[in-house]
Structure formats: C-alpha cells, structure tokens
Amino acid sequence: MSSKSMQQPDKLRLVSYLAPNMFWFYTAVRDYFNRVWDIETDIVQSQLDPLSDPLLLQDQLDVAFMCGLPFIGHYQVIPNQLQALVAPVMQCLRYQNRPVYFSDIIVNVDSRLTTFDDLAGKTLCYNDPGSNSGYNLLLHQLIQTGHSRSFFGKMIQSGSHQRSINLVVEGLADCSAIDSTVLEQELRDSPELAHRLRVIESIGPCPIPPIVAAQHLGSEFIDCLQSALLQPDMELRSAMDKAQIRHYVAVHSEDYAAIATIYNTVVQAGNPSGNAFG
C-alpha cells in the first residue's frame, strides 16, 4: 500500500475513549499504521469524556476509538470534523456477523435476581451518563417496559465498566449494564469472574463503537486509513484474533443515527442524561 503518490500527515495522533481493557489492541492498530506509513504515530488512553476533551474540541486528534453515542452526538452538531471509518465484527455467534454489540445486565451469581423486573428497588451502578451501553440503552429499556428512572432504588456512577463489574462482584451494587464486548474481554482476562456474576438480560443489538477519523486528514488519506483497516496484515490479524474480532467492515457516520434516536427518546422522557449533543 504505497503512500508516495498522496499527501500524508507527518504524525498521527490516536485516542481511545473506550474501556482500557482493550487498549493493548488499539496499540496494535497504532503499530500497524506505523508499518503501513512509516510515520510517527502515538496513542493515548483518554481519561476524559470525549465531548469535554480539548483534543477533540480543538480538532487535534486524528483517529479515535469512541462510543457511538458521543460520536453521533458530536457528528450531528459538527458534521465536518469526524467521520466513521470502520467498525469491528466480533467472532461470537450472538453478533450474527454484524457490527453490533449488546448491553448485558449483570448480577452477582449468588443473588436471587433472574429477570429485569427483579431489579425493581435495587442498586444499579453505571459507568457514566455518556455511555450508550452502560446508561443510555438501560434508560431506554426502562421506557420501553413502562418504568421510570425511579425503578431502581439507587443509582451509583462508577466511572468505568470494570469498576461496575467489581461493585457487582463485591456485592456493593445489585446490577449493572455492561458493553458485551468489554464483558467478554474481562472474562477472557479474568476467567474466575464467570463464577461470580451472570447475565440476566441483554439489550440490543446496537451499532458497535466505530473507529473514527478527523476530516482534516483529507479524503484521500482517510480512504487509505479505511482500506488499511479492511485489509490487515498478519500481525494485526493475529491481534484481532486475540481480541475475537472477525474483521472490520466499512461504516458511515449516519449508521449511528439509531443511537441518537434512542438518546432523544430518553431525554424527552425527562431522564437526566449525558450531554451527548454538545
């Protein structure tokens, strides 16, 4: 994949806003870009909400791994800054060879909770209000089932999916909604978790978080980024297998409009939510 005939940046800045348990894989993507273009490429794990990150707000990032909710919210307000490139198709059969994921509702394995209705009056922990899987989809589920946000006795913001999982395992919260791909990676990293929690319901499917590119890179280089991800070399392919990613598929920014619709339904029902739309 020659880059001699096109204009390319001197440096690529990658940012991950997703769960840190996959940062090793996003680093593998960074390394792949280094091999393809032989340019300086760095990556950081952001500790900020993407919509409050100066790197995004000042258009200083080049490629980002981010949740579909803040992405589509930002895109609908500022459509000329970021665009979706590709999304992963996970290997597990539940994903039916589509770029989707679920929000898995987990409880402690020793609890007597077996259905969503059993969670009435219980303590929920969630990662943050800007999360689609951990918050937005869950509030939408309450609306769809005729419940209000007061369905839960208490709601605790944990700050991350991993912390939410730990709170449920430790018995400090009754339930949580976890991105299914994050949960699967946690179970691969810590197999003993399978004996300490269980999934009682899954919400979805929903469009899976995309890899997005800044439009300041130019359409030609963005096309090359997309082509590179659709045609991984053996080293990236090996990392994808370890992450249980079957392959990447091209996506369009508008593919995430369904998430915006869900978010708007949640807000219009009077639920406090993350400021996903600027």
Q: Confidence band (pLDDT; 50, 70, 90) for 202?
A: very high
- β-pairing, 11-16 with 40-45? parallel
pLDDT in tens, 118-165: 999 999 999 988 899 999 999 999 998 888 878 999 999 998 999 999
83 pLDDT band, cuts 50/70/90, is very high
24-47 pLDDT per residue, tens: 999 999 999 999 998 999 999 999
Q: Decide if domain 100-206 falls under CATH 3.40.190.10.
A: yes
Domain ranges of the chain: 11-92+209-259, 100-206
Strands 154-157 and 40-45: what pairing?
A: unpaired
pLDDT of 271 strictly over 90? no
**CATH of region 11-92+209-259, choose from 3.40.50.1780, 3.40.50.300, 3.40.50.2000, 3.40.190.10:** 3.40.190.10
Read off the amino acid at residue 109. Answer: V
Over residues 65-81, the pLDDT tens digits come to 999 999 999 999 999 99
Q: Are 103 and 140 in contact (CB under 8 A)?
A: no
Q: What is the pLDDT of residue 6?
A: 65
Are 82 and 71 a contacting pair, CB within 8 Å?
Answer: yes
d(CA 181, CA 133): 10
Tell me what pLDDT residue 5 has: 54
- Give residue 2's pLDDT: 43
Which region, left, alpha or beta, applies to residue 194 given φ > 0 means left and ψ of -120 to 50 means alpha? alpha
Q: Do domains 11-92+209-259 and 100-206 have the same CATH topology?
A: yes
Per DSSP, the residues of 147-216 read --GGGSSEEEE-SSHHHHHHHHHTTSSSEEEEEHHHHHHHHHH-GGGGGTEEEEEEEEEEEPPPEEEEGG
Q: How far apart are CA 214 and CA 66, in angstroms?
A: 13
**Does 264 or 89 have the greater pLDDT score?**
89
Q: How many residues does the chain have?
A: 278
